[in-house]
């Protein structure tokens, strides 16, 4: 269904963070069916197991999208589904969250390792720190930080740690190159977790794909500018044949 969009959330925050954007999308285009789905809660941290789970549980022949980790998983699933994915939308999703030799636009591996250790041993402190990083760079960081604390699910630390292990494995560059459907990738200009340089690097990698940068916005820019983002997403869907 080209009028159906499935959105996956970022790590550790649940679907509440996507609610304002989903509401704005529905208000601007009543024909668009927007569904929010949580990230998998699995005792296995193998990427293929997560993708198998998502492939079984999410409807086919729909648009796939997500924020941060959710967008990275949607990217990998879009490539797997090929023509059975109508299109792809990512928000603040670095093709590789962890820096690699040929992708320096990510978090240093040792920094990520410290973050994973904190998740396993000091879960609540790490989640609080993560929400703070999500709001860094926002026009009103304190307000945004409070918003990010609303509706956060009480997730088992094992599942949270496995989500980070999956995040470390993901490198969606080849998946994005192989997926032939329409793609829109939006980044935040003052993101404390995903360097803004990743937007230009992705644009260089995919010159025929639409990549946008929202200036003066944080990693949680979907909570800062839900109406503006919804307007841009609506235009992209229509230009891609959704009307």
Q: Which two tokens stand for residue 125?
A: 């402190």
Which residues share a beta bridge with 88? 64, 183
Query: For residues 224 and 232, what is the distance between their CA atoms, to the nearest angstrom?
Result: 14
Nearest CA among 2, 110, 104 for reference residue 61: 2
Catalytic: 191? yes
Which residues of 68-163 form beta strands (DSSP E)? 85-91
Catalytic: 68? yes
Q: Return the CA Rg of the chain.
A: 16
Catalytic: 52? no
Task: Choose the catalytic residue: 45, 191, 217, 242.
Answer: 191
Nearest CA among 36, 14, 220, 214 for reference residue 131: 220
Nearest CA among 78, 27, 79 for reference residue 233: 27
Task: Choose the catalytic residue: 17, 45, 68, 96.
Answer: 68
Burial degree of 233 (CB within 10 A; 0-12, 13-18, 19+): buried
Q: Which residues are catalytic?
A: 68, 191, 219
């Amino acid at each position: 269904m080209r009028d159906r969009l499935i959105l996956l959330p970022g790590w550790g925050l649940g679907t509440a963070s996507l609610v304002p954007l989903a509401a704005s999308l529905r208000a601007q285009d009543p024909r668009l069916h927007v569904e929010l789905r949580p990230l998998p809660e699995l005792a296995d941290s193998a990427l293929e197991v997560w993708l198998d789970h998502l492939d079984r549980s999410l409807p086919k022949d729909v648009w796939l999208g997500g924020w941060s980790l959710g967008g990275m998983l949607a990217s990998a699933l879009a490539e797997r589904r090929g023509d059975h994915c109508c299109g792809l939308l990512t928000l603040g999703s670095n093709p590789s969250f962890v820096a690699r030799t040929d992708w320096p636009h990510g978090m240093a591996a040792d920094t990520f390792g410290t973050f994973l250790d904190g998740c396993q041993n000091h879960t609540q402190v790490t989640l609080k720190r993560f929400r703070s990083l999500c709001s860094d760079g926002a026009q009103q960081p304190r307000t945004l930080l409070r918003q990010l604390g609303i509706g956060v699910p009480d997730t088992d630390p094992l599942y949270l740690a496995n989500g980070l292990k999956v995040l470390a494995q993901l490198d969606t560059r080849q998946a994005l190159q192989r997926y032939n459907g329409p793609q829109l990738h939006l980044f935040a200009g003052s993101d404390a977790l995903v360097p803004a340089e990743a937007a230009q690097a992705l644009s260089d990698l995919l010159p025929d794909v639409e990549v946008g940068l929202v200036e003066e916005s944080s990693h949680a820019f979907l909570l800062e500018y839900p109406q503006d983002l919804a307007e841009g997403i609506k235009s992209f869907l229509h230009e891609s044949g959704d009307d």
